[in-house]
Amino acid sequence: MVLRVLLILTIVFGFVFVPVNVIQQVWTLALAEVAMMAYAFVILGLLASGLPPRRATWAFLLPFLVVLLLALATAANISVFVWVLLIPLLSHRLLGRRDGSIVGLSFLGLAAALMLVRFGFVPSVAQAAEAMDVLLCATALFVISLAHETEIVRVNRKLRARADLDGLTHLANRRRFRELFEQARYAAQQGVPSAARQVSLILMDLDYFKRVNDRYGHDIGDIVLEAVSRRLLAQCRQSDVLGRVGGEELAILLFDLDHADAMRQAERLRCTISATPVLARDHVISLTLSLGVATFRLAECSFEQIFAETDARLYQAKRDGRNRTHGEPVTSAARAARIEPAAREAQRSRGYEMP
Ligand SMILES: Nc1nc2c(ncn2[C@@H]2O[C@H](COP(=O)(O)OP(=O)(O)OP(=O)(O)O)[C@@H](O)[C@H]2O)c(=O)[nH]1
């Protein structure tokens, strides 16, 4: 948006500056301004046809700054230096905090040097005061715009975290979990050399968690969920992705482990949870986990596919008695039975008595 505004202003203001410079016979600057107007048209067109904004910004901003320096060096009046005030804001808005600061500060340094060269090293008091006004005002604007940019980065990070993380456990939420899977799959499909080739999904569901809520209350249930998440996270490798994909359902993506290793990791997690009860306020609560594990070639599976397969295996672990890990394919009869609880719940919610 800011880039588009700059491009349009370059074109519109060009219609004023070019005639003024022609009248004052500053030919080089007039020509450079005509070239920038044409270039702004081209960049607007390229943006409309899909040029990434970041590349368009670099492609336009650098020549724009060169032409501005040319204006500072050749324009007839000292008032041209007022345009320097624009640069801190422009560079931060267009390039962000780091690159914007580098470009902005470099430009301010060059502008100060040009001012010194053009208006003498020993200026009159009035000239020195004018120059000082412009340079100090530009420096103040630079600092203010840097503070503003820093605030924007902080708020954006906070919003991003809020959108990506589950509020209770601070693990990736379902949307982010899926996004990370899709990113890994895309890299595998593109043949990126560092991309994982294989993915295992472990789905974990606390057993009889409803009883924890019913017996100790929802707040204690929340503490338990947090504690379990922390314990699971402590067992994960750096490259694993742990997320909360449902109420008391957690999931891990493991990359480039074979299925036997993924099963071993799942068993380790199950034992971690069952071995030590959770201390929530003054309650000591024993818990168990049921787990489903499936392994796929990353480039060839969809999120729905791997999730449905692993969910069927998790459900089989529940059916087999809970507190266990199931990693084998599930028969179609058992898979069909997975539908049953949902259908029962739907019937119940419509007021039917279910056995
Ligand atoms: N405290 C708390 N409870 C939650 C949260 N999300 C889901 N739950 C509870 O998790 C429980 C899930 O219950 P069920 O789906 O019946 O499963 P379960 O009791 O764990 O039994 P099985 O999964 O069959 O072993 C429900 O009581 C939900 O209210 C949460 O964020 N905090």
Q: pLDDT tier at 351 (50, 70, 90 boundaries)?
A: very low
pLDDT tens digits, one per residue of 120-133: 665 677 777 777 78
Instruction: Report which protein residue has its CA nearest ligand 1's atom 15.
Output: 210
**How many Å apart are CA 337 and CA 335, to the nearest integer?**
5
For ligand 1, which residues put their CB under 6 angstroms from it? 168, 205-210, 213, 218, 221-222, 225, 247-248, 318, 322
The model's pTM: 0.69
Highest mean pLDDT out of 9-23, 156-170, 208-222: 208-222
CATH number at 174-349? 3.30.70.270
Q: Indicate whether 345 pLDDT > 70.
A: no
Q: Indicate whether 143 pLDDT > 60.
A: yes
Ligand 1 test: best mutation among 165, 170, 210, 314, most atoms within 8 Å of CB?
210
pLDDT of residue 121: 62
The residue ranges of every structural domain in the chain are 2-164, 174-349
Q: What is the mean pLDDT of residues 41-67?
A: 91
293 token code pair: 């594990």
* Distance between Cα 205 and ligand 1 center (Å): 9
Q: Which of 179, 248, 340, 353 is catalytic?
A: 248
Percent of the chain with pLDDT strictly greater than 90: 60
Which stretches within the chain are classed as H helix? 2-23, 27-48, 53-74, 86-119, 125-164, 174-190, 209-216, 218-234, 259-275, 303-319, 332-337, 339-349
* Distance between Cα 300 and ligand 1 center (Å): 33
For β-strands 289-297 and 325-326, DSSP reports them as parallel
Q: Indicate whether 17 pLDDT > 90.
A: no
**How many Å apart are CA 38 and CA 318, to the nearest integer?**
69
| 3-class secondary structure, 326 | strand
DSSP letters, 74-133, are H-SSGGGGGGGGHHHHHHHHHHHHHHHHHHHHHHHHHHHHHHHHHH-SS--HHHHHHHHH
Q: What is the mean pLDDT of residues 248-258?
A: 94
Report the nearest atom of ligand 1 relative to the CA of 224.
1
Q: Indicate whether 158 pLDDT > 70.
A: yes
Q: Indicate whether 330 pLDDT > 90.
A: no
Q: Indicate whether 296 pLDDT > 70.
A: yes
248 is catalytic: yes
